[in-house]
Amino acid sequence: MEELKQRILRDGKVRGNNEVLKVDSFLNHQMDVAFLQAIGQEFRERFAHCPIDRILTIEASGIGIACLSALAFDKIPVLFAKKNKTKNIAGDVYISQVESFTQGKRPYNIFVSKEFLRPGERVLLIDDFLANGSALSALIDIVHQAGAEVVGAGIVIEKAFQPGGDLIRSKGVRVESLARIKAMSEETGVVFCD
Ligand code: 5GP
| 135 Cβ below 6 A of ligand 1 | yes
Tens-place pLDDT, residues 73-97 = 988 999 999 998 776 666 799 999 9
| 152 Cβ below 6 A of ligand 1 | no
Atom of ligand 1 nearest to the CA of 99: 2
Q: What is the DSSP string of 106-126?
A: -EEEEEEEGGG--TT-EEEEE
For residues 48 and 24, what is the distance between their CA atoms, to the nearest angstrom?
A: 29
What pLDDT is recorded for position 91?
A: 75
| 95 Cβ below 6 A of ligand 1 | no
What pLDDT is recorded for position 189?
A: 96
What pLDDT is recorded for position 90?
A: 64
Tell whether the torsion through CA atoms of 28, 31, 36 and 37 is positive or negative: positive
Tens-place pLDDT, residues 24-36 = 999 999 999 999 9
| 57 Cβ below 6 A of ligand 1 | no
User: What's the residue count for the chain?
Assistant: 194
Quick check: 62 and 128 in contact, CB under 8 A?
yes
| 133 Cβ below 6 A of ligand 1 | yes
User: Which pTM was predicted?
Assistant: 0.96
What contacts 129, CB < 8 A, 6 or more positions away?
21, 61, 101, 155, 156, 157, 158, 159
Tens-place pLDDT, residues 49-76 = 999 999 999 999 999 999 999 999 988 9
Ligand 1 center to 126 CA (angstroms)? 12
